[in-house]
């Protein structure tokens, strides 16, 4: 015992030393690039340096941690100290959507966007109180492992495998998409090539060393992503609040935003622009109602204009413009419909700015109450989904003890908290900057960052002089959420090297999450499906090799699906959480806290939970085209709000109707409830 | 394996700690969100109160809940002699 204590301590200390050196080295690297930029290094080269140096670094850690031992490969040898497991979980958890998208969502939807922030942090309370210590005591390799041991039989394991793969796969596609986006934007490589460069980094790491390599890489990635997120915020904070920790002082900036919103709502020039949008939208809606006729009338008007110009022998360029307009004019009423619908959607831009700090704005009390219900629905599903996502729960198998697992959840949430409580601050500071520096500036001299980004990507920033007065009105600006984090360094007036740093941070966030997810999928297939169901006599080398091959196959399939650019990423991510919450949360928690829960309860409960959740999404999400009316106005992302209680109730009812689980299962439940029972005969931990 | 009365007592105390912390979690999540409009009338360090909670306060409380849980359970383990020793 004493030698083990000693080795854990020295291991922990040497880890602290390595990662301190590493952090110092990374900061030195950024400073060196900053000096190189001053001496004239081009932007493309700064992008390449960040991309290849960081991916090379992750690959290096992967190669150093290569292993073919089962316990090392699946659970990093159960030696990861709580503090470092917390950092690794932080990186595993925070995806491209958190890093790049979160601040943008908050920028666009104000208070209502905070549902995501609360949901994605508060879920860790459930992980700590209900799951992490008990799973650690159980001590196997995967989540289906627990379900199978607790409820017995391959049916439960199979449902677990299907659910684990479904939600992880949906989620990993979103990550690989993020990788492709960042590499292509900051290095000028093509999207497809960007995907494969990033994928190379992921694979070297997770294929060679499994969980062991992924863990140590994720710690390195966390350090990069948090430095990258904080640097521009500190700068922007000094600029607008005068202190380097704006998180504590932006309340006053928020008040100023409230005043500016009122000013924008009352400003006659702003009203003029909004009126133009309202009129255009109204005209288009009228045409949509009266379709074939309105289309014919428009077409005739376009033809007539060309004929008139010809008749009075107008200037050639004027005639050419009219001819082009006729050429581009939709060929049929059906084609024209899409264009009219786009115009009609401008109604959204005719609304005054949404008050940033006001919860659940709406036109009447009913609309406000629906908004509140949807806020609570998102919080609920994200929290319970957090406590059910296999790639996160798996991390708590890797600590040395039950107590370390508990402490490790604390560090996990602490490291996640650092980023999540900064994101709302960044959104407010960016909005204030735009209200004061962009609104009211003249089109001839836009702020440099605005001019640059509007040119690069009109989906991220689009500014058009609608009322032709030469001055920017807020209603004339369209912002894509991802702009906020990507452009903050330039908004804050920082050198390009900080933009490169932010890109490296976003890449670290996407790669680390993709790593964890791919590993979860490959483990579900190799460990749960192949070893536990198909060939229980497989040698350890064979199991690890199969896992590595499967990892490659899954990665390639995921990359292929990503290259098809499937629709709404945020919906996919939300859907993964709702599905996980409905399928896993009830059987996992009841498995520990209710001895009476039995096999058939779990089987039917999981199917009912998953089924109701999937049914609600399928029949309500517009993508599938069924569009049945919503229940209580709850959006399909929050389908887990119905799926989870239904699953829970089903497990209870079916378990009560069937016979209690056998004696050894009840002993297993008692076994996982205590960190150590002297004289315990049940052994569940796999080595 | 027979559990002693002390073991059952340990589990009951664990359930009490879990329930109390879960109640705090519930109040600062769902009750706070339900009354967000009313809470926002109060200003706290320049923030409307509901905004402050959703953006910072509740998050910090979540971190504290987990920290308190880990601390109390570590102590309880030792008190009831079910701890695993110092595996740091």
Q: What is the pLDDT of residue A2?
A: 40
Answer whether A271's CB lies under 8 Å from A350's CB: no
Measured between beta carbons, which residues in chain A are less than 8 angstroms from residue B82? 674-677
> Quick one: A168 exposed, middle or buried, by C-beta within 10 A (0-12, 13-18, 19+)?
buried
Domain extents for chain B? 5-79
Answer whether A575's CB lies under 8 Å from A618's CB: no
Range in A227-231, A236-240, A656-660 the model is least confident about: A236-240
Q: pLDDT band at A565, cuts 50/70/90?
A: low
Query: Contact B63/A417, CB-based, under 8 Å?
Result: yes
Range in A82-96, A381-395, A560-574 the model is least confident about: A560-574
Nearest to A676 among B36, B63, B82 (CB): B82
Nearest to B82 among A126, A407, A677 (CB): A677
pLDDT at A388 over 70: yes
> Which DSSP letter does residue A683 get?
-
Please state the φ and ψ torsions of residue A479, each to the nearest 5 degrees. -120, 135
pLDDT at A5 over 60: no
Q: What is the pLDDT of residue A569?
A: 65
Mean pLDDT of A75-98: 90
Q: pLDDT band at A127, cuts 50/70/90?
A: very high
Measured between beta carbons, which residues in chain A are less than 8 angstroms from residue B49? none
How many A×B Cβ pairs under 8 Å? 171
Q: pLDDT band at A567, cuts 50/70/90?
A: low
| Residue burial A477-504, b: 16+ Cβ < 10 Å; e: rest | bebbbbbbbbbbbbbbebebbbbbbbbb
pLDDT at A130 over 80: yes
A477 forms beta bridges with A463
Q: What is the pLDDT of residue A566?
A: 62
pLDDT at A435 over 50: yes
Q: Is the dihedral of CA A208, A212, A217, A218 positive or negative?
A: positive
Mean pLDDT of A466-473: 88
Nearest to B58 among A122, A357, A676 (CB): A122
**Residue, of B1 and A417, whose pLDDT is higher:** A417
Range in A133-142, A283-292, A597-606 the model is least confident about: A283-292
Mean pLDDT of A670-681: 86
Q: pLDDT band at A120, cuts 50/70/90?
A: very high
Secondary structure of residue A68 in the 3-state scheme:
coil
Q: What is the pLDDT of residue A151?
A: 93
- Mutate one of A117, A129, A676 to test the B interface: name it (highest B CB count within 10 A): A129
Measured between beta carbons, which residues in chain A are less than 8 angstroms from residue B11? 673-674
Closest CA to A91 of A496, A517, A402: A517
Measured between beta carbons, which residues in chain A are less than 8 angstroms from residue B1? 667, 670-671, 677, 679-682
Chain A contact for B44, CB < 8 A? Answer: yes
**Cα nearest neighbour of A427 on chain B:** B55
Range in A171-185, A218-232, A502-516, A670-684 the model is least confident about: A171-185
Q: What is the pLDDT of residue A1?
A: 38
Q: What pLDDT digit, counting tens, does each position of A474-493 carry?
A: 999 988 888 888 888 888 88
**Cα nearest neighbour of B33 on chain A:** A376
Query: SS3 letters for A204-233?
Result: HHHHHHHHHHHHHHHHHHHHHHHHHHHHHH
Q: What pLDDT digit, counting tens, does each position of A498-547 carry?
A: 988 998 998 889 889 988 998 888 888 888 888 888 888 888 888 888 88
Chain A contact for B57, CB < 8 A? Answer: no
Between the two ends of chain A, the Cα-to-Cα distance in Å is: 17
Report the alpha-carbon distance of residue A420 to residue A429 in Å, rounded. Answer: 15
**Cα nearest neighbour of B19 on chain A:** A129
Chain A contact for B20, CB < 8 A? Answer: no
């Amino acid at each position: 015992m004493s030698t083990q204590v000693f080795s854990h301590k020295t291991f922990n200390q040497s880890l602290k030393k390595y990662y301190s050196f590493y952090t110092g080295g990374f900061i030195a690297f950024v400073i060196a690039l900053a000096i190189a930029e001053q001496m004239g290094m081009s932007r493309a080269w700064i992008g390449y340096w960040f991309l290849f140096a960081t991916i090379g670094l992750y690959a290096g850690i992967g190669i150093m941690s290569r292993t073919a031992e089962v316990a090392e490969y699946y659970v990093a040898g159960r030696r990861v100290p709580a503090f470092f497991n917390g950092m690794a979980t932080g990186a595993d958890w925070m995806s491209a959507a958190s890093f790049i998208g979160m601040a943008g969502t908050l920028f666009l939807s104000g208070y209502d966007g905070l549902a995501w922030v609360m949901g994605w942090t508060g879920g860790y309370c459930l992980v700590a109180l209900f799951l992490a210590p008990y799973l650690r005591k159980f001590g196997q390799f995967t989540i289906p492992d627990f379900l199978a041991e607790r409820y017995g039989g391959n049916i439960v394991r199979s449902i677990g495998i299907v659910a684990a793969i479904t939600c992880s796969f949906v989620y990993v596609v979103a990550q690989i998409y993020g990788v492709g986006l960042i590499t292509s934007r900051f290095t000028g490589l093509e999207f497809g090539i960007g995907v494969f460069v990033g994928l190379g980094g992921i694979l070297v790491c997770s294929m060679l060393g499994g969980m062991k390599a992924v863990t140590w890489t994720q710690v390195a990635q966390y350090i990069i992503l948090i430095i990258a997120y904080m640097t521009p915020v500190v700068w922007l904070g000094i600029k607008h609040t005068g202190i380097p920790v704006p998180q504590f002082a932006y309340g006053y900036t928020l008040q100023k935003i409230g005043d500016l919103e009122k000013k924008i709502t009352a400003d006659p020039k702003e009203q003029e622009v909004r009126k133009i949008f309202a009129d255009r939208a109204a005209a288009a809606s009228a045409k949509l109602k009266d379709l074939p006729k309105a289309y014919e009338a428009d077409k005739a008007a376009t033809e007539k204009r060309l004929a008139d110009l010809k008749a009075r022998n107008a200037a050639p360029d004027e005639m050419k413009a009219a001819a082009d307009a006729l050429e581009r004019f939709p060929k049929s009423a059906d084609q024209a419909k899409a264009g009219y619908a786009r115009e009609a959607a401008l109604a959204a831009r005719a609304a005054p700015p949404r008050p940033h700090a006001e919860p659940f704005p709406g036109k009447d009390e009913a609309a406000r109450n629906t908004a509140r219900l949807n806020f609570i629905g998102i919080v609920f599903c994200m929290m319970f989904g957090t406590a059910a996502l296999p790639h996160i729960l798996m991390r708590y198998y890797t600590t040395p003890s039950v107590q370390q697992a508990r402490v490790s959840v604390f560090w996990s949430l602490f490291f996640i908290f650092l980023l999540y409580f900064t994101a709302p601050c960044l959104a407010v500071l960016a909005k204030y900057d735009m209200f004061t520096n962009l609104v009211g500036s003249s089109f001839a001299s836009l702020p440099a960052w605005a001019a640059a980004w509007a040119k690069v990507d009109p989906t991220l920033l689009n500014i058009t002089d609608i009322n032709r007065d030469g001055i920017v009105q807020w209603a004339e600006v369209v912002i894509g959420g991802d702009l906020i984090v990507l452009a903050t360094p330039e908004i804050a007036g920082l050198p390009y090297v900080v933009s490169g740093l932010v890109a490296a941070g976003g890449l670290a966030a996407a790669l680390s999450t993709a790593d964890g997810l791919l590993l979860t999928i490959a483990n579900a297939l190799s460990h749960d499906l192949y070893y536990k169901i198909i060939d229980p006599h497989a040698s350890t080398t064979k199991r690890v090799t199969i896992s590595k091959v499967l990892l490659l196959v899954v990665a390639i399939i995921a990359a292929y699906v990503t290259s098809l650019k499937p629709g709404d990423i945020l919906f996919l991510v939300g859907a993964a959480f709702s599905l996980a919450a409905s399928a896993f949360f009830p059987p996992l928690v009841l498995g520990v806290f209710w001895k009476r829960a039995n096999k058939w309860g779990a089987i039917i409960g999981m199917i009912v939970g998953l089924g109701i959740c999937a049914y609600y999404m399928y029949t309500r999400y517009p993508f599938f085209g069924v569009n049945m009316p919503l229940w209580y106005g709850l959006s399909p992302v929050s389908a887990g709000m119905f799926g989870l209680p239904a699953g829970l109730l089903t497990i209870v009812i079916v378990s009560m109707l069937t016979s209690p689980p056998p004696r050894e299962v009840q002993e297993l439940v008692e076994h996982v409830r205590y960190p150590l029972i002297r004289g315990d005969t049940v052994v569940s931990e796999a080595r | 394996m027979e559990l002693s009365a002390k073991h059952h007592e340990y589990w009951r105390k664990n359930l009490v700690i879990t329930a109390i912390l879960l109640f705090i979690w519930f109040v600062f999540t769902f009750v706070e969100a339900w009354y967000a409009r009313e809470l926002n009338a109060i200003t706290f360090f320049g923030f409307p109160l509901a905004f402050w909670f959703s953006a910072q306060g509740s998050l910090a409380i979540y971190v504290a809940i987990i920290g308190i849980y880990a601390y109390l359970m570590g102590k309880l383990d030792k008190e009831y002699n079910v701890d695993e020793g110092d595996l740091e």
